[in-house]
Amino acid sequence: MIGFDLVHMPQATFRSESRFHAYVRKVATDSEEAWVYQQDQPQTAFWHLWAWKEAAFKVNFQSGGKRVFAPKRLQAETFEKHMDQPGWVIQGRTERGAVQGESSQNEALISAWTMSSDHSQKRLERAVFPLSKAQSLQAGYYLRKEALTWLENQFGGSFRWEEHAYFPTLIAPSGESWPASLSHHGPFGGLACVIPH
Amino acid sequence: MNRPEVLEKLKAIVTPYVQNKEALASFGEETDFLEDLQINSAHLVDIILDAEEAFDIEIDDDAAEQMLTVKAAIEVVEAQMKA
């Protein structure tokens, strides 16, 4: 299973400092809250944590977990600075098991992808697409379309999405389903997928 | 405050965060915040915080977990107002 999330930083603002603190209280566990406030830029750190939690939620849901808004049940336990870029390698737990993830920050964007350990040796592909302002009104629809175009250019053949309760399933040209996760925020959308051997 | 009044107040709270404005026309108890209104999940936190202020209540983590639909949100608000 794989989860993916994007945060567009110019839109990820808080109306006040007190609102930021209230957000942290609602989303972060005690140990996560301590980590956020220990960082040089707590608000940026918070969005890394948030993106990881969103990605972890998607893994949890696809693994059979309930669709509930319960960010504190997704517990990030260790944070290590990314070796190659600004960002974090985060390990933690969901109700369905341990998950590991990475976040990276590229200018205005934070992305996080999280894979359960059984897919850790497989190849991960990640792509980010701009969505125009007009498209962002129906971002989900256009994101799926853009993702198919990217996949077809990358791998050839015809890909499609199959609708399921909350997350669509990616069907490859061979007919098998590939673990995949979509996310959009502001003018950006993204896809992460695992390419089976 | 009766249930229709809670519904109206909730609609006012939610409206700034709605991406699918057309769906507001059919805003009702069966409306799903994420799927129908296409509210960004980060704004679920805003909705919870705004509801706490507007209704002068505290929504704990267990209650917040349920708030993915309008119906669930109304029930959480009503329960907390009685508490």
- Give residue-wise pLDDT tens across range B30-51: 999 988 888 888 899 999 999 9
CB contact under 8 A, B48 and A26: yes
Helix B70-82 and helix B3-14, axial crossing angle in degrees, nearest 10: 120
Apex A84 CA angle, A96 and A62, nearest 5: 20
Q: Which residues in chain B come in under a pLDDT of 70?
A: none
How far apart CA A7 and CA B79 sit, in angstroms, is: 34
**pLDDT at residue A17, as a whole number:** 96
Residue reference for tokens 């997928």: A193
* Residue positions counted in chain A: 197
Nearest to B19 among A26, A70, A137 (CB): A137
How far apart CA B62 and CA A174 sit, in angstroms, is: 43
Tens place of pLDDT for every residue, chain A, 197 residues? 899 999 999 889 999 999 999 999 999 999 999 999 999 999 999 999 999 999 999 888 887 877 788 899 999 999 999 887 788 999 998 888 888 899 988 877 889 888 876 655 678 899 998 887 666 667 888 899 999 999 999 999 999 999 876 678 999 999 999 999 999 888 899 999 998 87
- Regarding beta strands A169-171 and A87-94, do their DSSP bridges make them parallel or antiparallel, or are they unpaired? unpaired
The answer to whether A68 faces chain B, any CB pair under 8 Å, is yes
Radius of gyration of chain B (CA): 12
**pLDDT at residue A42, as a whole number:** 96
**pLDDT at residue A137, as a whole number:** 66
**pLDDT at residue A54, as a whole number:** 93
Pull the structure tokens for residue A177.
């389903």
**pLDDT at residue A36, as a whole number:** 97
SS3 (DSSP) at B31: coil
Pull the structure tokens for residue A121.
């040796």
How far apart CA A190 and CA A4 sit, in angstroms, is: 8
ipTM for the complex?
Answer: 0.89
CB contact under 8 A, B65 and A22: no
CB contact under 8 A, B67 and A27: no
**pLDDT at residue A25, as a whole number:** 96
- The strands making up A180-185's β-sheet, listed across from edge to edge, are A123-130, A188-195, A180-185
B4 burial via Cβ count (<10 Å: 0-12, 13-18, 19+): exposed
Pull the structure tokens for residue A78.
């260790």
**pLDDT at residue A53, as a whole number:** 94
- List, as ranges, residues 144-173 from A with C-beta within 8 Å of B: 166
The CA-atom distances, in angstroms, between A148 and each of A55, A129, A187, B66 are 21, 11, 18, 33
* Residue positions counted in chain B: 83
SS3 (DSSP) at B46: helix
Which of A7, A9, A24, A69 to substitute to test the interface with B, most B CBs within 10 Å?
Answer: A69
Whole-prediction pTM value? 0.91
B70: left (phi over 0), alpha (psi -120 to 50) or beta: alpha
The CA-atom distances, in angstroms, between B33 and each of A124, B30, B38, B42, B81 are 31, 10, 6, 12, 22
